[in-house]
């Protein structure tokens, strides 16, 4: 079940996704972290953030919408209060998710994390508005994305995984920009920009007005995007979007992903990532797949 991403070997290709697995330590009693490949922390910013007003999570057909607003304890509190516990967890492999509203903020987070022990990689969330450029989302503007990635890569002492926004026309082109700027791998997809309206009050169902759609409803779009990216870059891909069972993970691997992340499914069942990892191993055995890595890019046309 082992896979390798940017020189880091993971015992399973199944990873718990950012924003759905807290800071990892909270799941210690819930699942066996040594059964999943890794987990990704909630997005970490330079300073703590309160996030948006409620309601900020709703259920939709086949998925959910959220506008948490990147609430987090900030990188310093993460290093002081969470990382010591993470280091003690049995077989835990932690990827830190990083974001900022300016490139300097992202660099500040990475530089602080560089000095800390117990992390294998950074996942840079490019779906965040660049306040210095009038709120344009880094991940939807090729020039901003290129600058963000190259400057973060220059200071990063660990492999840099760039998480792409799906809210673009040409996701393959954005992945090429990330690769050219030095990304060691890309992960996709983040959530899709969406709007739900309460027909009685005629108001948005989420206080922030719009939110990000995730869960099974987005899976076929996400698989198509992974396939597009796989034909555009040579760096490894981590695929996600609506994975709820082992066969969903297999689809992403066949489309070209080396590993997968499980997000929204953890809301329905906090042990989802472990169950999917176990069932993926069973699936490989029952389908005579000797190595899970052999599935990557195995789509037959
Ligand atoms: C409540 C919630 C919070 C999230 N927070 C983050 C975050 O802080 N950083 C990030 O890169 N992605 C975040 N995501 C996106 C997920 O990691 C994932 O990319 C997305 O939900 C698609 O996968 P899924 O359909 O399996 O959930 C969040 C998703 C949800 C549902």
Pull the structure tokens for residue 10: 């993971």
Query: What radius of gyration, in Å, describes the C-alpha atoms of the chain?
Result: 18
Nearest protein CA to atom 17 of ligand 1, as residue: 18
Q: Which atom of ligand 1 is nearest to the CA of 262?
A: 26
pLDDT, tens only, 213-235: 999 999 999 999 999 999 999 99
Listed in sequence order, the residues at least 6 apart from 295 whose beta carbon sits closer than 8 Å to its beta carbon are 250, 253, 254, 284, 289
pLDDT, tens only, 127-184: 887 778 777 789 999 999 999 999 999 999 999 999 999 999 999 999 999 999 999 9
Listed in sequence order, the residues at least 6 apart from 23 whose beta carbon sits closer than 8 Å to its beta carbon are 41, 42, 73, 78, 82, 86
Q: Which domains does the chain have, with CATH numbers?
A: 3-52+69-192+213-295 (3.20.20.70)
Give residue 134's pLDDT.
Answer: 76
Instruction: List Cα–Cα distances, 253 to 46, 176, 186, 297, in angstroms.
Output: 34, 19, 14, 6
pLDDT, tens only, 199-212: 999 999 999 999 99
What positions carry a catalytic annotation?
128
pLDDT, tens only, 29-53: 999 999 999 999 999 999 999 999 9
Helix or strand run (H / E) with residue 172: helix 171-180
Q: Is 216 in the pocket of ligand 1 (CB under 6 A)?
A: no
Q: Quick one: 169 exposed, middle or buried, by C-beta within 10 A (0-12, 13-18, 19+)?
A: exposed
Q: What angle do helix axes 142-155 and 103-114 make, rounded to 10 degrees?
A: 20
């Amino acid at each position: 079940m082992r896979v390798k991403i940017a020189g880091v070997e993971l015992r399973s290709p199944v990873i718990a996704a950012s924003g759905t697995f807290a800071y990892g330590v909270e799941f210690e009693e819930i699942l066996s972290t040594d059964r999943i490949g890794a987990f990704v922390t909630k997005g970490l910013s330079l300073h703590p953030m309160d996030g948006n007003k409620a309601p900020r999570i709703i259920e939709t057909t086949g998925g959910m919408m959220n506008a948490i607003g990147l609430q987090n304890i900030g990188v310093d509190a993460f290093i002081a209060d969470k990382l010591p516990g993470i280091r003690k967890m049995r077989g835990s492999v932690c990827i830190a998710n990083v974001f900022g509203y300016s490139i300097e903020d992202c660099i500040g987070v990475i530089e602080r994390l560089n000095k800390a022990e117990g992390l294998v990689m950074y996942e840079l969330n490019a779906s965040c508005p660049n306040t210095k450029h009038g709120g344009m989302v880094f991940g939807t503007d090729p020039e901003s994305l290129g600058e963000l990635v190259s400057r973060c890569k220059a200071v990063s002492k660990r492999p840099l995984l760039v998480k792409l926004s799906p809210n673009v026309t040409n996701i393959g082109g954005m992945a090429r920009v990330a690769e050219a700027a030095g990304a060691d791998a890309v992960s996709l997809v983040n959530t899709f920009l969406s709007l739900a309206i309460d027909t009685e009050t005629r108001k948005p169902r989420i206080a922030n007005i719009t939110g990000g759609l995730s869960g099974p409803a987005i899976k076929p779009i996400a698989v198509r995007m992974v396939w597009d990216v796989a034909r555009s870059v040579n760096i490894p891909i981590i695929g996600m979007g609506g994975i709820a069972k082992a066969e969903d993970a297999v689809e992403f691997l066949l489309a070209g992903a080396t590993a997968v992340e499980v997000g929204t499914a953890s809301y329905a069942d906090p042990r989802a990532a472990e169950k999917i990892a176990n069932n993926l191993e069973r699936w490989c055995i029952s389908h005579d797949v000797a190595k899970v890595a052999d599935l990557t890019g195995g789509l037959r046309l």
